[in-house]
């Protein structure tokens, strides 16, 4: 039986379905989770279906996840979307259901779950949810689901700019656009930035450091973030900015956390950077990864490694 059919068989069996996604969610986490919940609720109005997790202010226009009583897990099917490894799952009860399913598009480093469907060639988990609907006769899209999934796809592809965008991504997007939602409004929402983020963007461009071999980096310490009245989530819109500069091959935004550790956000226009992320307890896609660092003293060695990766890159300049 195809994996989509196996997943659907489980969905049909359970009357309670709880859908999780990753911590520090992005539009694809919200879109794939919310889109799947909406699709399943439409097909099975009698089932209790919950999209759970912390409700992030900047993403609440996509969907509003809920917090639920842990007792609900006792007889539930749990599905986790867009989350490569278990420590990154938002919500500590995900393992307390009767059956666990992973649906994801990141490299399958941690194949958790009783059923695991991973397609690392998909642009986004939202794209996979459309594939799922298309594979299952009993399921159909709705305008509300199409809007969430569209937001997820344009989020993870940088509005079709990144490598992960395929002809299939565009076909799936075209399918979503057939539904009645305000696509231009979603595009605007995804492009909007607050004034503090705009000021942080200016700071990033002003203070960006460039290594000998065209890797770029900036360290955003607690005091800087406080000066701009921004929390960690406020860094998301500035992560792509160094990549707009001609000649920059790869870059990292290093963000100090409340506990004074550092979050490493790493991006690339060609050199493979997820092996570097793994060295720092992280991982991710070849051109978009994240990791963590305990202490500031490790930063110079980390930047040297990123510079060496840029130096070793012989592929085309991808400006
Ligand atoms: P971010 O910079 O946090 O948006 O992360 C980019 C990508 O890197 C995510 O989509 C994840 O695939 C991956 N990633 C980020 N942080 C981690 C981590 N701590 N462990 C494993 N993968 C991560």
CA of 29 to the centre of ligand 1 (A): 12
**Neighbouring C-beta atoms of residue 75, cutoff 10 Å:** 12
Per-residue model confidence (pLDDT) at position 163: 85
Q: How far lies 26's CA from each of 22, 29, 62, 81, in Å?
A: 9, 5, 10, 12
Per-residue model confidence (pLDDT) at position 315: 84
Q: Which of 87, 289, 291 to mutate to test the pocket of ligand 1 (most atoms within 8 A of CB)?
A: 289
Q: Could you state, in order of their start, the residue ranges of all structural domains in the chain?
A: 3-191, 195-311
Which residue CA neighbors atom 10 of ligand 1 most closely? 284
- Nearest ligand 1 atom to alpha carbon 253: 2
pLDDT digits (tens, 9 = 90+) for 101-111: 999 999 999 99
Domain 3-191 in CATH: superfamily?
inorganic pyrophosphatase (n-terminal core) (3.90.1640.10)
222: which DSSP letter? H
CA of 106 to the centre of ligand 1 (A): 10
Percent over 90 (pLDDT), the chain: 95
Averaged pLDDT score across all residues of the chain:
96
CA of 137 to the centre of ligand 1 (A): 34
Output the CA angle 273-278-283, nearest 5 degrees: 75
| Residue among 247, 182, 168, 181 at smallest CA distance from 213 | 247
- Nearest ligand 1 atom to alpha carbon 109: 21
Q: Averaged over 211-215, what is the pLDDT?
A: 98
CATH, range 195-311:
3.10.310.30
Instruction: Tell me whether residue 296 is exposed, middle or buried, using C-beta atoms within 10 angstroms of its C-beta: 0 to 12, 13 to 18, 19 or more.
Output: middle
Q: Averaged over 51-76, what is the pLDDT?
A: 96
- Half-sphere exposure (CA, 13 Å, Cβ side) for 219? 16
Which long-range contacts link 44-51 to residues 24+ away (Cβ below 8 Å)? Answer: 44/11, 44/12, 46/15, 47/14, 47/15, 47/16, 47/17, 48/15, 48/16, 48/17, 48/72, 49/16, 49/17, 49/18, 49/19, 50/16, 50/17, 50/18, 50/19, 51/19, 51/21
For residue 221, pLDDT over 80 is answered with: yes
pTM, two decimals, is: 0.90
Structure tokens belonging to residue 74: 């006792």
């Amino acid at each position: 039986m195809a994996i989509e059919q196996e997943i659907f068989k489980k969905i049909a069996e359970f009357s309670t379905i709880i859908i999780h996604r990753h911590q520090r969610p992005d539009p694809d986490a919200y879109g794939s989770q919310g889109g799947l919940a909406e699709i399943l609720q439409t097909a099975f109005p009698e089932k209790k279906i919950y999209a759970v997790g912390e409700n992030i202010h900047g993403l609440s226009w996509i969907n509003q996840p809920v917090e639920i009583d842990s007792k609900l897990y006792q007889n539930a099917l749990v599905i986790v979307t867009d989350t490569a490894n278990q420590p990154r799952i938002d919500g500590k009860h995900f393992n307390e259901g009767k059956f666990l399913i992973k649906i994801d598009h990141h490299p399958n480093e941690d194949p958790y779950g009783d059923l695991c469907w991973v397609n690392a060639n998909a642009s986004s988990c939202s794209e996979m949810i459309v594939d799922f609907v298309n594979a299952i006769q009993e399921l159909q899209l709705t305008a509300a689901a199409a809007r969430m999934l569209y937001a997820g796809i344009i989020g993870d592809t940088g509005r079709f700019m990144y490598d992960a965008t395929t002809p299939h991504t565009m076909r799936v997007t075209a399918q979503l656009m057939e539904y009645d939602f305000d696509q231009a409004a979603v595009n605007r929402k995804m492009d909007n930035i607050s004034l503090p983020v705009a000021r942080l963007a200016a700071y990033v461009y002003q203070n960006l450091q460039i290594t000998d071999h065209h890797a770029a980096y900036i360290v955003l310490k607690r005091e800087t973030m406080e000066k701009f009245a921004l929390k960690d989530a406020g860094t998301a819109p500035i992560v792509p900015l160094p990549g707009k500069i001609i000649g920059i091959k790869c870059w990292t935004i290093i963000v100090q956390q409340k506990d004074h550790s550092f979050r490493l956000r790493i991006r690339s226009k060609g050199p493979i950077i997820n092996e570097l992320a793994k060295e720092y307890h992280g991982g991710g896609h070849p051109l978009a990864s994240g990791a963590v660092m305990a202490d500031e003293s490790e930063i110079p060695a980390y930047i040297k490694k990123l510079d060496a990766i840029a130096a070793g890159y012989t592929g085309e300049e991808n400006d």
